[in-house]
Chain A
Amino acid sequence: MSDRAGTGDSPLVLEHEDRPELRHHFADVVQQRNAASLGMWWFLGTEIMFFGGMFCGYLVYRRAYFPDFAAGSRSLNLIAGTLNTAVLICSSLTVALAVRASQLGKRKQLVNLLLATIFFGVCFLAIKGYEWRDEYIHHHVPTFYFDAHDLVRENPNLHLDPQHTKIFFSLYFALTGVHALHMIVGIGIFSVITFMAWRGKFNPEYHTPVEIAGLYWHFVDIVWIYLFPLLYLIDRRPGA
C-alpha cells in the first residue's frame, strides 16, 4: 500500500458510482485514505516546528533566568495542571476508542465517544480558564496589571528580577494560549465529525475523517504532555 502508484485507467468510473466519497482524481479509496493520512502527518510535522519555535525561546530564557523561571513555575497551580494532563489523556482514550468504533461500524458508540472527547476538551479549557483567571487576579498576566513583586518577596534568597519573571509568564501564556487555540480548533473539528457520524457518513470502508481528526487531537495532547513538565515542574523540590 505504501507509495504504490495508481491502479491505471478505467476503474475510476466504476468506483465513482459505488463510492460517493471517492474524489475524482483518486484511483480508489485506499489511495485517497493514504493521501489524507500522509497529509495529516505532514501537517503535524509543521505543527511540531510551529510550537518548536516557542520551545526554543523558552529554553534560551529558562537557561538564562532559571531562578525566575522556577519561581514562576512554582506559582502555577500544580493540581490543575496535573488534572488537565489527565483530562487530555482521557480524551485521547476516547479518540482511540472512537476510531475503533468507526472501524467496526458501530455508529452509536462512535457518536458517544466523539461527544465524550469534546466533553473532555471543554473540561480542559474550563480548567485552563480557571487557572488563567486565578493568574490574572494575582497580577501574573503580562500587560494586564502585571506585578511579579509578590514572587520576589516570596523568594528572598533568589533575588529575582520581575522583568525576567515576566518573560516566564509571557512564554507561559503564549505556549498555553496557542495550545488552547489548537484545542478550540480541535473541538470545532470534532463537532463537525460528530455531526457527520450521527448522520451515518462513516462505515468500515470509509472513516478517514475520524482517523485524521484523531491524529490531530492526539498531537494536541502530546504538546501538552511536554508543556506540563516544562511549565509546571521546573523546580518543585522542597526548599526551593
Chain B
Amino acid sequence: MATAAVSTERKNYLNAEYGIRSWLLTTDHKRIALLYLISITFFFFVGGFFALLIRLELLTPAGDLLTADMYNKAFTMHGQIMVFFFLIPSIPAVLGNFLIPMMIGAKDLAFPRINLLSWYIYIIAGGLYLHCLVSGGVDTGWTFYTPYSSLFSNTHVIEAGLSIFIVGFSSILTGLNFVVTVHRMRAPGMTWSRLPLFVWSHYATSIIMLLGTPVIAITLLLVVLERTLNLGIFDPSRGGDPVLFQHLFWFYSHPAVYIMILPSMAVISEIVPCFSRKRVFGYSFIAASSIAIAAIGFLVWAHHMFVAGISLYSALVFSFLSFLVAVPSAVKIFNWTATMYKGSVSFSTPMLYAFGFIGLFTIGGLTGLFLATLGVDVHVHDTYFVIAHFHYVMVGGAVMGYLGGIHFWWPKISGRMYPEAWGRLAALIVFLGFNLTFFPQFIVGYLGMPRRYWQYPPEFQVYNVLSTAGASILAVGYLLPMVYLLWSLRYGKPAPDNPWQATGLEWRTSSPPPTFNFEETPEVTWEAYEYDTMPMPDEVTLER
C-alpha cells in the first residue's frame, strides 16, 4: 500500500480504513474494483494454465501429453474461464468500477451495495467452477453444445453450467449499476456530449450485459434441467432440437464478444488523445459507433451456425448483417488514427498497447469478415483460422486494451508510477509473443488443421511449434507487469494528481483519490478532450 512517500496526513481510499473487514464489506467502488482486480487476475492464471497444457500438447502431432478426454477438458476450461471469469468482467469490473463515478463527477455508483454483491456473486460462481475443476472438470467445449452436454458427456456439466449461470448475474448487476449511474449521477454540467468516450463505451457494454446475459442464463438452466431430469428438449432422438440450443446460446455469446471488446475500445479512446496531445477526432462518431456495435451486434449471432443446418436464406441475412457490424468498429479505428495524425505522439507504455490494439484488432476484425463470408466459412469453420481470429480480437484487442488501461490509470489507482522502461519492454514482448503465437494459427487453420483436436498430421507441426514458442514469450510478457506493478506499490515514485496531463475528471483529484472521490462535487463547464489547452506532460514522467 502507498505509505511513506505519500504525505502521511492525506487520507485516500486505500488508507481510509484498515483491516480485512473494511475491504470485504466495502461499498467503495474503488475498493471493489481492486477486489475484482485480484480475483480476475487469479482466474487469468488458471485459464492460462490450461492454455499452457494445450500448447504443450500441440508441440507434437501425436497425442502424447494428455489423453483425448483430458485435452477436451483443457480447451473447454481454458475457454470458459477466460471468457466468463476473466474477459467479460475484466475492464468493466476493474477499470469501469474504479473510473466511471470519477469520470462523471459522482461520489460512487448508483447502487454501491449491489456493486459489492456483484463481486460476491462472482466469487461464489468462481468457487463453484473451481470445485467443478478439481472434481474432474468439464469437456463439452466452452460452447456447451447439446446433445453432448445435455446427454452424453460424463463430466461435471451441471456444476460448470450453474457456475456460469451465477456469474452472469454478476455481469447483469454491473451493467445495471453503470447504466443507472450514467443516467442519474452525472455532476452539474456533465452533459452526454461531454462524457468521456470511456463512459460511452461502457454504457453500450452495459446494455449488452443487461439484454443478452439473461438469455444464456435461461439456456444454461434448461441444459441443467435437461441433464438432471432427462427431459429430451435438446435430444434429436426425442424430437429435441440442438440447433435451438445454438440459437439461444449464441444470441448472448455473440454480443458477449462485444462486451469483451467495447471496454477495451473505451480504454483506447482515452489513451490515444492523451498521448497524441490532441482532441479526439470525431467524438460523436466514436460515441455513436459504440451504440451501433452494441445494437447491430445482437443481429449477427447465427454466423456461428452457418454449417449447423440453418436455412440458407437466414444464413445470407446473418452474413450480410455480420458485414454491417464491422462498419462501426472500422469507424473507431479510422478516428483513432486520425486523432494521431498531426498530433504530438509519445511512445509511452499505454500508447504502445494502444498501437498494438489498433493493428491487431484490425487484423482480427478483417479475418472476422472472411469468416462472415459464407463460402469461406464453409472451409475454415472449426479450424484454427477461427481460433486465430478470435484470439486476435480478444487477446490482441481486449487484453492489450486492458493492460494499456491498467498502466494508464495505475498512478491514479495506486498513487505510484510504474517503471516506464520495464513497461515498454513488457508491451513489446507481449506484442511479439502474441503475433508469434497466433499468426501461424491463421495459416495452419487455412491449411485445414481442425480446432479441438489433440492430434494432427505431421505437416502442421512447424506452425504449432512456432505457436507454442510464441506462447512462452507471451507468458513472459504477462508476468513482467505483475512483477513491476507490485514492485511499484512499495518502491515506485509517488504519482502526482495528473502525471500524463490528461483531461478527464478523474485526473483532477488526488492519486490515489479520497474515498468520496472529490473534495467538492465538480461543475463541468468545458468540453471533453480539451488537449489544446492542456500543458505537455513532464518529460521525466514519460521517460522514466
Contact = CB atoms under 8 A, between A and B. Distances in A.
Interface in A1-47: 3, 5-9, 23-27, 31, 34-35, 38-39, 42-43, 45-47
A39 B180 CA distance: 6
A54 B232 contact: no
Interface in B214-246: 214-215, 217-219, 221-222, 225, 229-233, 238-241, 244
Contact of A161 (B187, B217, B229, B239): B239
Interface string B179-199: 111011111111000000000
Contact of B106 (A25, A167, A174): A25
Q: Which of B112, B219, B229 has the most CB of A within 10 A?
A: B229
B502 interface: no
A6 B248 contact: no
A38 B111 CA distance: 11
B110 interface: yes
B107 interface: yes
Interface stretch (B11-19, B205-213, B465-473): B205-213
Interface string B156-196: 00000000000000001000100111011111111000000
Interface in B236-295: 238-241, 244, 247-248, 251
Contacts of B187: 5-6
Contacts of B217: 50, 53
A46 B248 contact: no
B184 A60 contact: no
A79 interface: no
Contact of A38 (B108, B183, B214, B523): B183
A143 B106 CA distance: 53
A5 B186 contact: yes
Interface residues of B, number: 50
B521 interface: yes
Interface in A155-187: 161, 163-164, 166-167, 170-171, 174, 178
Contacts, number: 134
B110 to A, nearest CB: 4
A57 interface: yes
A51 B218 contact: yes
B532 interface: no
Interface string A73-111: 000000000000000000000000000000000000000
A53 B215 contact: yes
B244 A60 contact: yes
Interface string B109-151: 1111000000000000000000000000000000000000000
Given A6-B187, A42-B180, A143-B229, A54 B222 contact: yes
Given A46-B211, A49-B215, A6 B231 contact: no
Contacts of A57: 222, 233, 244, 248
Given A6-B106, A163-B232, A163-B238, A52 B215 contact: yes
A228 interface: no
Contact of A46 (B172, B180, B230): B172
10 contacts: A6-B185, A25-B112, A25-B185, A35-B181, A46-B176, A52-B215, A57-B233, A61-B233, A61-B244, A142-B232
Q: Across chains A and B, which 10 residue pairs bring their CB atoms closest together, nearest first?
A: A53-B218, A50-B214, A25-B108, A49-B214, A25-B107, A143-B229, A163-B238, A35-B184, A170-B231, A35-B110
Interface of A: 3, 5-9, 23-27, 31, 34-35, 38-39, 42-43, 45-47, 49-54, 56-57, 60-61, 64-65, 142-143, 161, 163-164, 166-167, 170-171, 174, 178
Interface of B: 105-112, 172, 176, 179-181, 183-190, 210-215, 217-219, 221-222, 225, 229-233, 238-241, 244, 247-248, 251, 516, 520-521, 523
